[in-house]
Amino acid sequence: MKRALAGVAVLFLSIVTGLLLGRPAQAASLVEVTGFGTNPSNLRMYVYVPDNHPARPAILVAVHYCTGSGPAFFSGTQFAQLADQFGFIVIYPSATRSGSCFDVSTNAALTRNGGSDPVGIKSMIDWVVANRSGDSSRVYVTGASSGGMMTNVLLGDYPDVFKAGAAFMGVPDTCFATTDPSMWNNACANGQVIRTAQQWGDAARNAFPGYSGPRPRVQLWHGTTDTTLNFNNFGEEIKQWTNVLGVSQTPFQTDTPQSGWTRTRYGSAGNVQVEAYRIEGVGHSLPLSGQARLAIDFFGLSSTTTDTTPPSTPGTPVASNVTATSATLAWTPSTDNVGVTGYDVLRATGATGGTFTQVGTATSSTFQATGLTANTTYRFQVRARDAAGNMSAVSSPVTVTTAMGTGDTQAPTAPSGLAASGTTQTGTSLAWTGSTDNVGVTGYDVLQAQGATGGTFTQVGTSTTTSFAVTGLTANTTYRFQVRARDAAGNVSAVSNTAQITTQGGGTTGACSATPTVQTQWATGYVINPLTITNTSTSTIPSWTVTFTLPAGHTLSGSWNATVTTSGQNVTVKSVSFNGNLAPGASTGSFGFQVNRPNGDTQMPTAYTCTTP
């Protein structure tokens, strides 16, 4: 990793020279701490505690780039200056291995408590909590380059420790995984590791199997001309964290905070879960002046007064899918002056009386209540929390009576004969032969996985009949489906056979197809990423060529991972060595492009065609 990131230290120092010259003198100083706890990779720990801070200050972990150090990141960025202003503690870990890069590649680093650098950094946090009265409920992480990659890794390994993270010039968690002793992953660095949002999300979740609590909010930064860690990684990070946080990949807001910056936000107004900054024409040299402050703003650390405003009260929960042992709850989300971070779910037994106790948490406005007793009445309430720990009033209760148990422990038989028909660009119709049960089948769960192999089957719907209409699919994409039956006691059958379909559309000609995805857009431009190429033939193709037409006035301003030529408004894209060869049914999503357009013109490219030799 050292050979590719060796110039980053110089870039950082050149960018911020002069920015900190006006920083007022402080009695506080950067202090090295030794013997801070378990430290399997021999990291060094530096901590900055500002003179003025509250009794329980928040904690920020600031992780340096390759060839850097904790003291260099302290001197070359604005985080310590902001700590002076807003009263939080900053931990600066320092890597000691050759090249001074952090381990974001080994299995030990990519597994919770597996060893290596993340364990040492967690020990630093514990030391600050125990010895400097740090607030363990307000811990944040940021970093640049190698530190940006480590930011993503830490959010995957320790979602219960960090409230939020800001990754500058990073890559998705697990993207850099390798057994190479150099710890360098060329494919990831070059933006060639392309996965679905579900696959990226599963990779992050697998760092801490079984964890179901709140997940950290994420801010992402990347320059479009980064040649060290390709800009393509920016889109893959967005896929990963929107999936992990359970929000749409379509931003609810897109704006331009300043010239050349495009900011997209994911989640909802008042509850931003992912915030992504695209910096036009900038290479591997972030954070720039003012960007550290925006990270602190995102964390909620920049308020000069303590946030004492609680979220609004959630709506009354609505119960569905009630069985003998479980129920699904959903409610109208709360709003907050800064942002809702999660919900507590409370339960009391009986239609009246009793005491409400917390039985779970949720980061979205739904919750699966399990472990209930058959033929029993419960009441559920929810309350919202924000980053400052303020809690809303509890919602009105919903009363739920579970189904009769009658001692039924026999599951229905597995459904059979699952088949799909009427497949379109965005949907398909499923039908199957019904299950039988000793008492009676009450419904079916419909499961979906993307791709011809691999991936994870997740529930996408339910049906009380032996058919289901699937919607919301992507054109020219392969999906697999299964169904399973449920009875009134909550017993679930084995899954049915698997039905596989490939949706229509996307401009198919010859033996391949091209399907565009709009990653982001603003008034004067947009990004298509990825343009997914799929081999629709029955034999392997060695290469592909895609053509499409730009609307009048639109001009191509950038592209990656293909050879591109233009003639007027006509664009021709040819595969390169690593993404041309595709097996039957296989796809590649490594190519994307950026377009400038007249202000307010919302047209998109048309006439996509794909051909092979």
The alpha carbon torsion through 195, 199, 203, 208 (nearest 10 deg) reads 160
Whether 2-20+30-299 and 512-611 share one fold: the answer is: no
Comparing 277 with 450, which gets the higher pLDDT?
A: 277
pLDDT attached to residue 4: 45
- In a 3-state reduction of DSSP, which class is residue 580? coil
The residue ranges of every structural domain in the chain are: 2-20+30-299, 318-401, 416-502, 512-611
Beta strands in 471-586 (DSSP E): 478-487, 499-502, 512-522, 525-535, 545-549, 555-560, 563-567, 570-574
Pairing of strands 570-574, 545-549: antiparallel
What pLDDT score was predicted for residue 503? 76
**Region 53-59: what's the mean pLDDT?**
89
Q: Output the pTM of the full model.
A: 0.55
Please give the CATH topology (third level) of the domain spanning 512-611.
Immunoglobulin-like (2.60.40)
CATH 3.40.50.1820 corresponds to the domain 2-20+30-299: yes
Give the homologous superfamily in CATH for domain 318-401. Answer: Immunoglobulins (2.60.40.10)
At 170 the pLDDT is 97
Name which residue leads in pLDDT, 194 or 22: 194
Whether 418 has a pLDDT exceeding 90, the answer reads: yes
Q: Average the pLDDT over 288-295 and give the result.
A: 93
pLDDT, residue 10, reads 38
Q: How confident is the model at residue 269 (pLDDT cuts 50, 70, 90)?
A: confident
pLDDT of residue 315: 95
What mean pLDDT comes out for the span 164-170?
97
The percentage of residues in the chain with a pLDDT greater than 70, rounded to a whole number, is 92
Pull the structure tokens for residue 165.
């993270």
**What's the mean pLDDT in 138-167?**
96
CATH of 416-502, picked from 3.30.70.100, 2.60.40.10, 2.60.120.40, 2.60.40.1250, is 2.60.40.10
Given a cut of 50, whether residue 578 has pLDDT beyond it is yes
Q: Which of 211-215, 335-339, 360-364 has the highest mean pLDDT?
A: 211-215
By the 10 Å C-beta count (0-12 exposed, 13-18 middle, 19+ buried), 108 is classed as middle
Residue 103 near residue 117, CB atoms below 8 Å: yes
Q: Encode pLDDT of 478-502 as tens digits.
A: 889 999 998 877 788 999 999 988 8
296 pLDDT higher than 50: yes
Active centre residues (catalytic): 145
What confidence tens digit (pLDDT) does each residue in 372-406 have? 888 899 999 999 987 666 789 999 999 999 987 66
